[in-house]
Amino acid sequence: MAAKPQETQINQNIRDPEIRVIGSNGEQLGIMSARDANDLAEKEGLDLVKISPNAVPPVCKIMNYGKYLFDKAKREKEQRKNQKIVELKEVQLSMTIEQHDIDIKAKHATKFLLNGDKVKVSIRMSGRQQAYSDRGVETENAFAKSLEEISVIEKPAKVEGRNIIMILAPKNAKK
């Protein structure tokens, strides 16, 4: 039974008529049958691992498969650890917000942006405010202007039903 395509084939699962073999020290051993390569690997007490199945002929290497899996898992864990997950934080404004309140909200948004997160700026309109949605868009644009040194507008202010939404992204992430 053949192994699944995404699985790494090792030892007796390699059934190709010809394979290119790389030794345990990285030297080219040439093209040979899978049986001969398996015999070589067994003599060294190591495994024969197919590392490039799409090549013609497929490339196999003689190595310690357990150590290879351990090192691969360790590399993947290190990559996940170094990965930064960008979150979307929200700052809510109102149509009748005063300048001091805008400054406080801008300070919160600055903290989020410097942390590398995106900021969703939203205004929820109620009742008669919906007739003056252009004022809400102006409020959001003024808010974005106060943060233009550290952010870029990823999605401009747009009226969506009862809400006006704009998304700001940190400036250094765009470079």
- In a 3-state reduction of DSSP, which class is residue 60? strand
Answer yes or no: are the C-beta atoms of 61 and 22 closer than 8 Å: yes
More confident site: 34 or 8: 34
14-59 pLDDT, tens digit each: 888 889 999 888 888 888 888 888 888 888 888 888 888 888 888 9
Kindly state the tokens that stand for 7. 């699985």
Instruction: Please write down the HEC assignment for all residues of 11-56.
Output: HHHCCCCCEEEECCCCCEEEEECHHHHHHHHHHHCCEEEEEECCCC
Q: Residue 92: which of 151, 170, 162 has the closest Cα? A: 162
Which pLDDT value is given to residue 143? 92
Say if CB 59 and CB 20 are below 8 A apart: yes
Q: Which CATH fold topology does 11-80 show? A: Ubiquitin-like (UB roll) (3.10.20)
Domain ranges of the chain: 11-80, 88-174
pLDDT score of 105 more than 70: yes
The per-residue DSSP string of 144-175 comes to HHHTTTTEEEEEEEEEETTEEEEEEEEHHHH-
Q: Which homologous superfamily is 88-174 in?
A: Translation initiation factor 3 (IF-3), C-terminal domain (3.30.110.10)
Contact at 8 Å (CB) between 151 and 171?
yes
**157, two tokens:** 């202010």
Q: Please name which of 119, 126, 131, 128 lies closest in space to residue 157, comparing C-alpha atoms.
A: 119
Res 106 pLDDT > 90: yes
The predicted pLDDT at position 78 comes to: 87
Q: Give the pair of three-digit tokens for residue 102.
A: 């805008």
- What average pLDDT does the chain have? 86
Q: Which residues of 92-123 are buried (b: 16+ CB within 10 A; e: fewer)?
A: ebebebeeeeeeebbeebbebbeeebbbbbbb
Give the pLDDT mean for 96-109.
92
1 has pLDDT over 70: no
pLDDT at 72: 87
CA proximity to 91, closest of 160, 139, 159, 150: 139
Q: pTM of the entire structure?
A: 0.54
Question: What pLDDT is recorded for position 107?
Answer: 94
